[in-house]
Homo-oligomer: A and B are copies of this chain.
Amino acid sequence: MMKKYTIKDIAELAGVSKGTVDRVLHKRGKVSDSALKKVNKVLEEIEYKPNPIAKSLKNNKVYKVCILFPQSTQDSFWTPCISAVEEIENNYQAFGIAIEQHRYDSNSPSSFLDQANSIISTKPNALLMAPLFYKEAQEVKKNCLEKEIIISTFNNMIDKNSLSNYIGQDLFQSGRIAAKLLDSLTNSGHMLIVHIDEQVQNATHMQEKEKGFKKYFEEKKESHYKVSTISINKEQATNYAAHLQQYFNSNSDINGVFVTTSKTYIVAKFNKENYKKLKIVGYDLVEKNIDYLQQGSIDFLINQNPKKQAFQGLSNLAEHLLFGKEIPKAMLLPIDIINSENYKEYLE
């Protein structure tokens, strides 16, 4: 409950003026040797931390932070990001942070680019985005740098040297986790990786997961494991069940399936209605997946936690703008393993 040391205190202790202390602290020069020594002596004895509240008091402006991610009508994976925005607004609105939410069509690179450029033209202080399209994201990044808009990305990385304040998960490791889970669920040795219904833009995503998955089984020494991969794209989407049935008929030794996207429910539905022998591990707490998780048709889900990603990203930006905190170059969030009993707490 003691008092905090302020510049004024230091000035009094050193027998100089506030201005002089300020010049010493900020190394602006124009200080006599004798004054410098006096101030430094005091600074050594006490521990001075500038008050960030007072610092930011002068900023009577509203910082505009924009967030850009896909529409959730197309993929409910993104829905939780909305509540992240709401929470951040509650926390930081009074401090002068205004969040603007923008969405784009996850099937249209040009929609992403248009939205991003329209945001940039309004000159926000910072932009947090989930960039599905690599090439377009590069351009957006360039435009932001030009206009001195701070840029952060979440869920999808746009450069490996992390120059864009990435918040997300280690996708390779995430594939390993899926492998370990299926390994503990099954005893047979034939696993299937299923890529469902995603566009080219997510290729890196799925590839990383696949690599991690395979790596796990390669490392297992007593390895009698076999890993196969199939991709199902939109064109075949009219009849998933027939497609899957056909595949499993000729590969009846498979009993573990790793679905690399949030469309896990498609395989779960097939398994529940037709096949009934698969152990399934997939991604994300979307409604349909949770249904099958509760019914026991999906064994585990891996939570990519889009809400936490967005929340962290916005937090980092707000704290930086308000209090000058450094933005971490890369934050790898934990990868949550979800089963029918612990999903609830992760939903909110």
Contact residues of A with B, CB < 8 Å? Answer: 1-4, 6, 49-54, 56-57, 60-64, 93-96, 123, 125, 170, 173, 176-177, 179-181, 184-185, 216, 299, 332-342, 345-346
The answer to whether A299 touches B184, judged by C-beta atoms less than 8 angstroms apart, is yes
* Min CB–CB distance A346 → chain B (angstroms): 5
A336 nearest CB neighbor, chain B only: B336
The answer to whether B335 touches A49, judged by C-beta atoms less than 8 angstroms apart, is no
Known: A180-B340, A336-B334. A62 touches B4 (CB 8 A): yes
Known: A95-B52, A185-B184, A345-B332. A61 touches B337 (CB 8 A): no
Q: Which residue from B57, B125, B184 sits with its C-beta under 8 Å from A339? A: B184
B-chain residues with CB within 8 Å of residue A334 when the two chains form the complex = 336, 342, 345-346
B-chain residues with CB within 8 Å of residue A50 when the two chains form the complex = 94
Q: What are the nearest 10 A-B pairs in CB distance?
A: A334-B345, A337-B337, A177-B341, A180-B341, A49-B94, A176-B341, A335-B342, A177-B342, A53-B53, A334-B346
CA distance A185 to B93 in the complex (A): 48
- Main secondary structure on A side of the interface with B: mixed
* Min CB–CB distance A275 → chain B (angstroms): 18
The answer to whether B125 touches A216, judged by C-beta atoms less than 8 angstroms apart, is no
The answer to whether B3 touches A61, judged by C-beta atoms less than 8 angstroms apart, is yes
The answer to whether B62 touches A1, judged by C-beta atoms less than 8 angstroms apart, is yes
The answer to whether B4 touches A339, judged by C-beta atoms less than 8 angstroms apart, is no
The answer to whether B337 touches A342, judged by C-beta atoms less than 8 angstroms apart, is yes
The answer to whether A95 touches B341, judged by C-beta atoms less than 8 angstroms apart, is no
The answer to whether A51 touches B4, judged by C-beta atoms less than 8 angstroms apart, is no
Determine which residue in A60, A95, A173, A332 has the highest number of CB atoms from chain B within 10 A of its CB, and name it. Answer: A60
The answer to whether A49 touches B93, judged by C-beta atoms less than 8 angstroms apart, is yes
The answer to whether B184 touches A125, judged by C-beta atoms less than 8 angstroms apart, is no
B-chain residues with CB within 8 Å of residue A345 when the two chains form the complex = 170, 332-335
Q: Which residue from B49, B61, B299, B338 sits with its C-beta under 8 Å from A4? A: B61
CA distance A304 to B137 in the complex (A): 39
B-chain residues with CB within 8 Å of residue A173 when the two chains form the complex = 341-342
Q: Which residue from B51, B57, B341 sits with its C-beta under 8 Å from A94? A: B51
B-chain residues with CB within 8 Å of residue A93 when the two chains form the complex = 49
Determine which residue in A94, A334, A337 has the highest number of CB atoms from chain B within 10 A of its CB, and name it. Answer: A334
CA distance A4 to B95 in the complex (A): 10
B-chain residues with CB within 8 Å of residue A57 when the two chains form the complex = 53-54, 57
CA distance A64 to B3 in the complex (A): 11
Known: A185-B184, A333-B345. A177 touches B339 (CB 8 A): yes
B-chain residues with CB within 8 Å of residue A170 when the two chains form the complex = 345
CA distance A4 to B3 in the complex (A): 31
* Min CB–CB distance A182 → chain B (angstroms): 11
B-chain residues with CB within 8 Å of residue A339 when the two chains form the complex = 177, 180-181, 184, 337
The answer to whether A60 touches B342, judged by C-beta atoms less than 8 angstroms apart, is no
